[in-house]
Amino acid sequence: MMKVGFIGLGNMGGPMARNLLAAGFPLTVHNRSPAKAEALAALGASVAGSPAEVARASDVVLACLPTVRDVDDVFLGAEGVLAGARGGQVLADHSTVDIAMTRRVGEATRAAGASFLDAPISGGPKGAEDGSLAIMVGGDAEAYAKALPVFQAMGRTVAHLGPSGAGTTAKLANQLLVATGTIAICEAFLLAARAGVDLEKLHGVLESSWGASRMLGRNAPFILRREFGPSPAPVRNLAKDTAIIAALAREHGLDLPLAAAAERVYSELAARGHGEWDITAVLPFLEGGGG
Amino acid sequence: MMKVGFIGLGNMGGPMARNLLAAGFPLTVHNRSPAKAEALAALGASVAGSPAEVARASDVVLACLPTVRDVDDVFLGAEGVLAGARGGQVLADHSTVDIAMTRRVGEATRAAGASFLDAPISGGPKGAEDGSLAIMVGGDAEAYAKALPVFQAMGRTVAHLGPSGAGTTAKLANQLLVATGTIAICEAFLLAARAGVDLEKLHGVLESSWGASRMLGRNAPFILRREFGPSPAPVRNLAKDTAIIAALAREHGLDLPLAAAAERVYSELAARGHGEWDITAVLPFLEGGGG
């Protein structure tokens, strides 16, 4: 069976790595703070001291990291994955990064004779736990075929969307729908509240209407209970993603009015120090005239 | 059994009226162009020569009309519903209009001793055909209770959302999600196309991701087949609705950035003569640098 490596054991990577163990893959893990790696060791994983060491022990190396800078360090740093990579290996990144970073890591991987797949995920911590993630993959078909059984142990919808960068772009397309959907839901509930509409009943009727969406189901309870504080789905994630989307649109010479508005809202919310708040914190921001 | 009147037998009102007949309500109908009323007569409806005549023949009078101006004419015109209204009657409007028009018709109805319900619908022609509409009602509870069996013959989700105007506001909240959702979907597919993503596979993966929505399922086939021409879901409807939403937001002193951007996009598309095109015609508009 293919030996798999996993770097980054946060609230997404941790359960993804557990699903790989459950599927029977020999697994080597690494995490910046060692406690999370030890928790995987208790379930049968080997613990490596660095990303390079993970690469030396594995046929397929996966990473799931919170920021673009972390991806840079883990793949391209002195003790990074590329320092331990070899020909024939497949490296895959589940993080959501910008296309420039995807290209840099992809080029370095090819220079080492290995293959790189950008493979961002959607589905949140719950999807990571129960193995129902969507995994959006870009890169060459041969590497995709090799890594597919590994992806299928972690996700229910695994799709090869095109050449290198296509997975990242698909994830950014999803994040554009998530960010704009969340802001629009906050605007809709705010407008309705001002007009005396019963918000709980509004949620019910919207779920049966053309406005229904997966984000409506996710966001409405936070709005109805006014739970806008610190959250596992924080503002800073969408501030990062909408900034990447806006940059990508500029690179392609596109003027995307909703993407631009979403970036302004989330970057302003983050700049006001609300980066850890729930993504629905747009609502009190707009109540305060923040839009 | 309550005698029901129905005015406006278009691609929504026609099937709604047929469902009232199927449920056994004695029905009197009126339509500006008589051919559509004759089609209902063949199924058992009585045909009236004016909205006032419909009101004289009915306990509950419903209207479903395409524009704010039509609502004005049908309710408040010389031979309008109010000219035939009497105490104890319930009048309900299924059209999507602005709050000011809802208020005007509501006040005139109360002056006649009758009750007015704003009762906009969502679900499209298909929902009207199979009786699965969402019906969002504002107005007093007694009138709502009286009209409820009539609404239930046409809709699956019927909700009383608050005082007069609450139904209209709920519908506008839904339309805000529809309009912004459609533009965001167009932006997402355009960005992905520029980056070489397989758009059919993108649709599949988005349906399994947080970006999934009822509008994604509706819009993606139009985008994939590039069917942006004349449509039963035309640009002019969202141009009208987003203008009403923007005006309502201003009335409440709210700055809603996505609502404002959606109004700019759809009003510009309509101004360029594309009012009859499908709502996804945003995509070629943005391709041409229209955003």
Distance from CA of B70 to the nearest CA of A (A): 24
pLDDT reported for residue A290? 66
**Average model confidence (pLDDT) across chain A:** 95
Query: Hey, are the CB atoms on B211 and A209 less than 8 Å from each other?
Result: no
Q: List, as one string, the DSSP characters of A100-140.
A: HHHHHHHHHHHHTT-EEEE--EESHHHHHHTT-EEEEEES-
| Pair (B124, B262) in one structural domain | no
| Pair (B148, B192) in one structural domain | no
Could you tell me if B244 and B192 are in contact, meaning their C-beta atoms sit under 8 angstroms apart?
no
Angstrom distances, CA of residue B146 to CA of A38, B1, B61, B202: 65, 12, 12, 47
Identity of residue A184: A
Query: Quick one: closest CA in B to A185, which residue?
Result: B177
Q: Label residue A51 by pLDDT band (50, 70, 90).
A: very high
Q: Residue B273 gets which letter from DSSP?
A: I
pLDDT reported for residue B1? 85
Q: What is the pLDDT of residues B33-80, one digit of tens each?
A: 999 999 999 999 999 999 999 999 999 999 999 888 999 999 999 999
A156: three-class secondary structure by DSSP: strand
Query: What ipTM is given for this predicted complex?
Result: 0.91
What distance, in Å, lies between the first and last C-alpha atoms of chain A? 53
Query: Hey, are the CB atoms on B177 and A99 less than 8 Å from each other?
Result: no
- If we measure between CA atoms, which residue out of A288, A268, A85 comes closest to residue B253? A288
| Pair (A71, A206) in one structural domain | no
| Pair (B78, B128) in one structural domain | yes
Using the structure block, give the residue that is written with the tokens 């080492």. Answer: A112
Q: At residue A291, does pLDDT exceed 60?
A: no
Cα gap A190→A194, rounded to integer Å? 6
Chain A hits for B188, Cβ within 8 Å? 173-174, 176-177
Rounded average pLDDT over A84-95: 96
Q: Which of B134, B187, B262 sits opposite A205 (nearest CB)?
A: B134
- Comparison of pLDDT for A227 and A232, the residue scoring more: A227
- If we measure between CA atoms, which residue out of A23, A9, A286 comes closest to residue A151? A23
Query: Hey, are the CB atoms on B166 and A208 less than 8 Å from each other?
Result: no
pLDDT reported for residue B290? 66
Rounded average pLDDT over A45-49: 97
Q: What is the pLDDT of residues A244-273, one digit of tens each?
A: 999 999 999 999 999 999 999 999 999 999
Structural domain for B263, as ranges: 170-287
- In terms of DSSP H, where are the helices of B27-93? 34-41, 51-57, 68-76, 81-84
Greatest CA span in chain A, whole angstroms? 64
Q: Which of B162, B194, B218 delimits the end of a domain?
A: B162
B134: three-class secondary structure by DSSP: strand
Q: Which of A162, A192, A218 delimits the end of a domain?
A: A162
pLDDT reported for residue B291? 53
What percent of chain A is predicted at pLDDT more than 70? 99
Query: What φ, ψ does residue A56 adopt, rounded to 5°?
Result: -65, -30
Q: Angle B199-207/A166-194 helices, nearest 10 degrees?
A: 50
Query: Hey, are the CB atoms on B197 and A169 less than 8 Å from each other?
Result: yes
Q: Which of B137, B162, B187 delimits the end of a domain?
A: B162
Distance from CA of A85 to the nearest CA of B (A): 28
Q: At residue A210, does pLDDT exceed 70?
A: yes
| Pair (B155, B49) in one structural domain | yes
Counted domains in chain B = 2
Q: List, as one string, the DSSP characters of A73-96.
A: HHHHSTTSHHHH--TT-EEEE-S-
Distance from CA of A264 to the nearest CA of B (A): 9
What distance, in Å, lies between the first and last C-alpha atoms of chain B? 53
> The tokens of B80 are what?
């309008």
Low-confidence spans in chain B with pLDDT less than 50: none
Q: At residue A168, does pLDDT exceed 90?
A: yes
Q: What is the pLDDT of residues B126-157, one digit of tens each?
A: 999 999 999 999 999 999 999 999 999 999 99
| CA of residue B41 relative to chain centroid, distance | 24
The single residue of B126, B171, B201, B240 carrying the catalytic annotation is B171
| Pair (B197, B142) in one structural domain | no
Cα gap B33→B10, rounded to integer Å? 10
- If we measure between CA atoms, which residue out of B128, B8, B11, B116 comes closest to residue B64? B8
Chain B hits for A250, Cβ within 8 Å? none
Query: Hey, are the CB atoms on B214 and A212 less than 8 Å from each other?
Result: yes
B156: three-class secondary structure by DSSP: strand
- If we measure between CA atoms, which residue out of B188, B198, B210, B185 comes closest to residue A128? B210
Q: What angle do CA B199, B205, B206 make, to 5 degrees?
A: 85
A6: three-class secondary structure by DSSP: strand
| Pair (B44, B146) in one structural domain | yes
pLDDT reported for residue A99? 86
Secondary structure of A220-271 in HEC code, one letter for each residue: HHHHHCCCCCECCCEHHHHHHHHHHHHHHHHHCCCCCHHHHHHHHHHHHHHH
- If we measure between CA atoms, which residue out of B47, B76, B51 comes closest to residue B61? B51
> The tokens of A150 are what?
């590994």
Cα gap A34→A50, rounded to integer Å? 11
CATH number of the domain to which A135 belongs: 3.40.50.720
| Pair (A20, A156) in one structural domain | yes
| Pair (A240, A274) in one structural domain | yes
Rounded average pLDDT over A183-207: 96
pTM as predicted: 0.91
What is the DSSP pairing of strand A133-138 with strand A121-122? antiparallel
Cα gap A29→A48, rounded to integer Å? 6
Q: What angle do CA B192, A271, B189 make, to 5 degrees?
A: 10
What is the DSSP pairing of strand A27-30 with strand A46-47? parallel
CATH number of the domain to which B246 belongs: 1.10.1040.10
Phi/psi class of residue A188: alpha, beta or left (left: φ > 0; alpha: ψ in -120 to 50)?
Answer: alpha
Distance from CA of B115 to the nearest CA of A (A): 19
Rounded average pLDDT over A62-71: 94
Query: Hey, are the CB atoms on B259 and A189 less than 8 Å from each other?
Result: no
Identity of residue A151: F
> The tokens of A73 are what?
């360090």
| Pair (A91, A135) in one structural domain | yes
Query: Quick one: closest CA in A to B216, which residue?
Result: A213
| Pair (B111, B57) in one structural domain | yes
Q: Label residue A289 by pLDDT band (50, 70, 90).
A: confident
Q: Give every CB contact of residue A101 below 8 A, 6+ residues apart in sequence.
A: A68, A71, A72
| Pair (A273, A203) in one structural domain | yes
Using the structure block, give the residue that is written with the tokens 């006040």. Answer: B107
| CA of residue B152 relative to chain centroid, distance | 17
Rounded average pLDDT over A108-131: 94
Q: Residue B102 gets which letter from DSSP?
A: H
B61 has which bridge partners? B5, B91
Q: Angle B199-207/B166-194 helices, nearest 10 degrees?
A: 140
